[in-house]
Each structure stands twice: as structure tokens, then as C-alpha cells.
Amino acid sequence: MERNTEDSERLNTLLHSAYDVDTVRAMERPLLDRDMPLMRMAARAAASTALQMLADADLDVAESQIALLAGAGDNGGDGLYAAADLARDGAAVTAIAVGRALHDEAFAAFVQAGGKVLVLDPQSDIPGCASGFSAGEAGERLHTAITLASQSDLLLDAMTGIGIHGSLRGIPSTLAKSLGLDGDLPSEPAIHDPQTIYDRDTPLVLAIDTPSGIDIDEGTLSGPYIPADATVMFGALKPCAMLPPAAYACGAITLVDFEFDIDEQQPAIESADDGLARQAIRLPHLDDAKYSRGVVGLITGSARFPGAAVLGAEAAARTNTGMIRYLGPQRAQNMVLTAVPEAVIGKGHVQSWVVGSGVPTASADETGIDAQRSTIAALLAHYSTGDELSGDAEPAPTTHDDADSPQDDPSTIEAYDMPAICVDAGALDLLPAHVPPQVVITPHAGELADLLADLGEDIDRAQVQAEPWRWAQRAHDITGATVLLKGAITIVVGDDGDGGTRTLVSGSAPAWLATAGAGDVLAGITGALLAQQDGLLQQDSSLCVEVAAAAAYVHGMAAGIASNSDQQGWQTPQVFGMPPVVAEDNAGHPIVASDVVRTIGEALEELLS
């Protein structure tokens, strides 16, 4: 079916925006008031997806055993209608009622289609089904349900949907513990052939709207949950579809478009895409000079870690900038000039800074006097919102040697209009107490935990991994910085320009990118894009969140090209009823960070074409 430009733009927005539960319910209400058959529409999509999953696994529907975990609410009704369709197609379907009731009309349709029912709650009030049985029989029924579900070919998960808050309790909790995972974080996406999910003894799992046990709005996993191979999500994406770790439990997502009116609705989460990344790239003009194309200043690397300076400088130089300036120890200077002979050593006017990559932290600095740290600290002091200085403070030129001898007096820093700055790795502990949004910090989970702990939070790496969005928001709230939390799905939190916060995610990278130096490359790309957009950022610093997300997206694209891998941390959902986007399924090959640097140009070319 062809769509006009307006429809295509709306659908693209829908596929890259996630809305919280209250907003989804508000968008549903006008359609329900007009008696739109949303439940039947949802059920048809779920049944169709189930049939496709069986076909992909070489299973004949007429010979398949299907189990449905059915809750008492509308989500259970969606599942019952879908199960009825599958029963009419010849499958043997058993609905396991986990609560005291079932959706009346959907249950009637299911029974009429020949479905069987297993009731688990002795106090159930389901027409035609036994109730009031003993505790002993209840235990036997629960055991039967677990056996039936675990031995089925396909498990339809319609226990909870978006109507539950907090961890699963009672019978749903017991089922999730037996059939799913008990609060353990799922693995981030691994390199594998997607078809291998079918080569196993456990059933395929199709979640109806959302997997049971995940937190819909926060994207966390606070207790038992049932990870899905696929999820059919209705009306709009929910935050759990984009936020780790819950996003990893959703599997492949198919979105059923109910044609919600999204024009006036504010998404909770947005995902970076080609369009966002393209906007962050400033095309060169015929009358440009190297200075107008963006100049990046880097205070990176050290005598111990000079490679970080090389990777960041190369990345910045290849990301469409006119010039880079480098400040660092002699050994790093020599290596940077060998890799990037166009680099200029020493201070001068810049449109962005990149600091900290390859610079030892205070605890790792054995001498206690690292010249790079001194220079960075003096520079960052000018970004403190409590400092009356304005302008782009520039450090004095470096002349130190491989021993990292003290640099020129940082007090010689001069003040100009402050450009955006990317603060990475060893500079994170030098961040002032509060800074403006044009300060972009790029920690991984462990570094964010350390930063927050230094700021008084009782936090460790595992807690950040369990609730990454919460802690990225907390870091933004405390420091004012734009926070880019690195991961298979990178989370970027910053100002929205209206006194609130905005969150973007980027999942464009393959797992091969988990390699030494990858963060140094990302810092260089981030600095380059910040420099290109300096004019706009001076007018509206809230755009930093978009530029930072674009940097993560370009970084991931370059890694995909370098590794020849089509895998991504977050895949754009398919749209039910539209031709599927067929991936190449290239597993790819190992890469090192310098491979990513060499493919940045190809990534930019692909975006611009």
C-alpha cells in the first residue's frame, strides 16, 4: 500500500517515538468512544504474527501445540481472540487462566473456536469452569500449567499488558519464575544468526502488547518476567520497547498502527535515526574556510595512553570538520601528527572541545601531577554555572615531554564564548558541580556509577545497568550536563528547551563495537558534530541532546560498516500490514577501534545519500 508524504512522516515518527502508559490510554480513548474494534484488530495482528513464527520454525499450525497465558483484563482478551483465530486454523490451543476472571466476549469466542481452558485460581468466576477446588488440586493444576506451557510449540503471553505496575505477584509471578527469568538481566544482543532462536527445546514466546513482568514506563526488570522472541505492540511503542534492559526482553517488535493522533503528544523516549543524524552534519559551503567548517580542540591522551589521542583526533578529523587542534604530551603529539598530519599542535580558537579520553583518573595518576588533568580542570572551571566568566577558555600550548611534566600555568586560560565540550573518561571526575547543557559527558555504566557516587549517591555499576535511564536522568538533574550513557542501546538525556528533559536512544551499533578505544572514537565524533553545529548550539543549547544522539548513531553505523554486520542493539519495529523489511542477517567479523575510524566517511556518505 502506497502512503503519501504526510502518512510516511507520521509513521516514521510513530516508529521512533515511545509513549508512556497514560499517554497511550489517552490516545486510545477517542477511538474506543467511536467503538473502534481495537481488540479484534490487535488479535488479528497477534494471530498473524504467531502463524509467521510457526512457519519460520517449519511448524505446521495444524500440528502445533499452543499455550496462552491469559490475564483477566483487556490484554487477556486480546490473547483469547488471537488464540481463537489460531484454533480455527487447526492448532491445539489451551488457555491458562491466571486470574479469577476472563474477558467475557473473548472467552466465549475462544471456547466456540474449540479452545480448551485450564483454571488456576480456586476462587475463579469463569463461566463453565470448575472453581472452589482444594489447595492440593490448585498445586496440581499449576504444575500441569507449567508443564503444558513449557512443552508447547508456541507460548502466547497475555498475562498483564500495560495495566500492571510493579513486580508480578501470585500465580503470574510463579509462572514467570518457572517459564522465564527471575529478575536476572537479559544478555545484550549477541552476534548470532537470528534463526537460531528456533533451534531449541523451549517454546517460542510471543508477547501480546508487552512481555509480562517488565516495567512498561521505566524499562526495568524488577522481578520475574517472561522474555519474548517477538512482541506485537498495539497503537504505539511503549518506553520498554526502547529502554534497556527491558528492550532486550521484547525480541523483534511488530507495531500495530491504530492511527493514533500523535501530533499533540509528547513522547517519553525517541530513537535516533538517519534523519536525526543527517541534521547534525553540516554540509560544506562553496565559500567555506577550514575555520567555518568547525574546529575541534582535543586535550586527550597521555604518556601512558597516547593511543586515545590518536583515535579521537582521527575520528574528529574524519567527521566532516575543517581542522583539529591537539594539546598533549610530546609522545602523543608525535603519534597524532603521524596519523593526522593536518592536525595543529597548540591552542587557538575552537568551536568545540574533547577532553579526558586516555587521561588517567585521579586514582590512576601515580605521580599525582598529570599535566593533562591540570589543563582540563582549568578549562572545565569556566563551564561552572557558578563562575562569572563567560567565553571559550583556552589552555596554554603544551610543551611537556613523555614524562608528563607539569604543563604551563593553567591560570593563563583566557575567556571567550564557551563552545560545547565533550567530557570523557579521565575527565569525568573533574566536572564542576553544575554545568550548562553544552557540556556533554560520555560515561559507560561503571564511570557513571563512580561519578554519581562522588556526587553523594549510593550507587554501583550493577544498579546503573539495572536502571540505566533512571541514573542517566539523575546525573543530568544533578550536574545539568547532557548525559550520553554508552551501551548496546545508548541513552542520551538532556534539556528539552522548555524546562524539562528529553531522552533519545541510539542502538545502531553491532556487538563487535565492544572493543578497546571505541569510546575514544565516539568522543572524537561527538566533538566534531558539536563543532559543526556551534552556531545553532550558541542559540539553543538544548539541541546538544540531538547532536550527542547523532554522534552515537554515526558511531554505530561506522562500526556496522567496518564489521560488515547488520546487527543492531535496537531494531526499528516492523509495521503490521506493510511489507517486512528483510535484513541481510550478516553476522560480520571482529573489528578494532581504528577500523571504525576508517569507515566514518562511508557512514556519512550513506546518511547524506
Cis peptide before 30 (omega within 30 of 0): no
Distance of alpha carbon 294 from alpha carbon 283, whole angstroms:
11
Residue 322 DSSP class: S
95 is in an annotated binding site: no
H or E stretch covering 156: strand 154-158
Q: Using DSSP, state whether 554 is helix, strand or coil.
A: helix
- Rounded CA-CA distance 388/385 in Å is 8
Q: Which of 546, 555, 485 lies closest to 515 in space, CA to CA?
A: 555
Establish whether 109 is an annotated binding residue: no
- Using the 8-state DSSP alphabet, how is residue 168 labeled? -
CB-based contacts of 423, cutoff 8 Å, min separation 6: 355, 356, 380, 430, 431, 439, 440, 441, 442, 481
SS (H, E, C) 220-267: CCCCEECCCCEEEEECCECHHHCCCCHHHHCCEEEEECCCCCCCCCCC
Residue owning grid cell 564557551: 418
Q: How far apart are CA 519 and CA 445, in angstroms?
A: 12
Q: Are 481 and 439 in contact (CB under 8 A)?
A: yes
**How far is 354 from 346, CA to CA, in rounded Å?**
14
Phi and psi at 510, nearest 5°, equal: -80, 165
Check the annotation: does 290 bind a ligand. Answer: no
Is 458 one of the annotated binding-site residues? no
- C-alpha cell, 121: 485460581
Q: For helices 306-318 and 600-608, give the axis angle rounded to 10 degrees.
A: 20
| 8 Å CB contact between 301 and 332 | yes
Any known ligand binding at 269? no
Q: How far apart are CA 298 and CA 356, in angstroms?
A: 9
Binding site annotation covers 444? Answer: yes
CB contact burial 517-532 (16+ within 10 A = b; e otherwise): bbbbbbbbbbbbbbbb
Supply the DSSP string of 54-103, one letter for each residue.
HHHTT--GGG-EEEEEE-SSHHHHHHHHHHHHHHHTT-EEEEEE-SS---
Closest CA to 43 of 24, 23, 68: 68
Q: Find out whether 201 is annotated in a ligand binding site.
A: no
> Could you tell me the three cell numbers for 19?
509513549
* 146 marked as binding residue: no
Angstrom distances, CA of residue 215 to CA of 98, 183, 211, 239, 472: 19, 12, 9, 9, 17
Q: Are strands 92-97 and 65-70 parallel, antiparallel or unpaired?
A: parallel
Helices first, then strands: H and E counts in the chain: 20, 21
Is position 528 annotated in a ligand binding site? no
Check: CB of residue 156 under 8 Å from CB of residue 206.
yes
Binding residues for (6S)-NADPHX: 308, 444, 520
Binding residues for AMP: 486-490, 519
Binding residues: 308, 444, 486-490, 519-520
